[in-house]
């Protein structure tokens, strides 16, 4: 399996997931960059996988499907009514399979109530749930829900590759440094950010992403100083997310 990051719009990533001459595309916000990437890779589009319903992740679907009648379009059952053209609706841990590509859904409510990640082999496509050194805003869920979704991703094997939906890593690391000024792993990562910064790994996020470190003493103290009402991880997360929203 091969993964190709496809920059779209201002800072979005779509991804081609390639096996042989077939590819699925994750979160095609625009059709033209995806079509160009397919041509460069010399592969045919076999499916569209959508992590959530926001326009900057589904905007390319109409053009891609118009050019390919019958193309499978996969999303969560909860988000499917908000996306035109969905042909398969997934619940947590349900599978989608097209050509030689087989992925299963990880239910990740918080950013939207129907947000999912797609896991295939050692790669996970997290959409706007988990970013490099950060996480998405809660447009539909609550802090406990979002924190639980992040912990589900954090429990995956450490070498798991995490492909996220936006290039926010540099700004996220500035926030991480404000939360944990003494975290050497954050400083080291900030000093050597690749371009693009996707993918990350679970181990790297556990070391540098404050939203996955809500049980760490330094993170708890920082959250308490910014309005956390208790040391409970979901309350620490709530305070961190509110702080980041205005950082």
Catalytic residue among 53, 79, 147, 166: 166
Q: Give the pair of three-digit tokens for residue 37.
A: 């990437």
- Establish whether the linkage from the previous residue to 90 is cis, with ω within 30° of 0: no
Active site residue 234: no
Active site residue 53: no
Catalytic residue among 27, 107, 111, 147: 111
Catalytic residue among 27, 52, 79, 147: 52
Phi/psi of residue 3, nearest 5 degrees? -120, 130
Active site residue 56: yes
Catalytic residue among 56, 63, 226, 234: 56
Active site residue 128: yes
Q: Exposed (0-12), middle (13-18) or buried (19+): which is 242, by Cβ within 10 Å?
A: middle
Distance, C-alpha 16 to centroid of its chain? 14
DSSP category for residue 215: T
Catalytic residue among 27, 79, 107, 128: 128
Active site residue 57: yes
Catalytic residue among 54, 79, 107, 147: 54
Catalytic residue among 27, 53, 57, 107: 57
User: In angstroms, rounded to a whole number, what is the distance separating the alpha carbons of residues 148 and 135?
Assistant: 12
Residues with catalytic roles: 52, 54, 56-57, 111, 128, 166
């Amino acid at each position: 399996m091969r993964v190709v990051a496809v920059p779209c719009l201002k800072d979005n990533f779509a991804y081609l997931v390639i096996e042989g001459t077939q590819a699925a595309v994750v979160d095609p916000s625009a059709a033209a960059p995806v079509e160009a990437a397919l041509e460069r890779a010399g592969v045919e589009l076999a499916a569209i996988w959508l992590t959530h319903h926001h326009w900057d992740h589904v905007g390319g679907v109409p053009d891609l499907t118009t050019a390919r009648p019958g193309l499978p379009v996969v999303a969560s059952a909860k988000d499917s009514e908000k996306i035109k053209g969905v042909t398969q609706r997934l619940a947590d841990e349900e599978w989608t399979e097209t050509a030689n590509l087989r992925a299963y859904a990880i239910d990740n409510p918080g950013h939207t109530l129907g947000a999912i990640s797609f896991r295939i082999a050692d790669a996970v496509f997290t959409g706007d749930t988990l970013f490099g050194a950060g996480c998405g805003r809660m447009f539909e869920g609550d802090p406990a829900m979002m924190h639980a979704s992040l912990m589900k991703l954090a429990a995956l094997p450490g070498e798991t590759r995490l492909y996220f939906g936006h290039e926010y890593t540099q700004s996220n690391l500035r926030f991480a440094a404000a939360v944990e000024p003494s975290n050497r792993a954050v400083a080291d990562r900030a000093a050597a950010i690749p371009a693009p910064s996707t993918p990350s790994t679970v181990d790297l996020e556990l070391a540098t992403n404050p939203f996955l470190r809500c049980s760490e003493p330094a993170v708890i103290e920082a959250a308490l100083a910014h309005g956390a009402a208790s040391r409970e991880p979901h309350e620490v997360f709530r305070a961190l997310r509110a702080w980041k929203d205005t950082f």
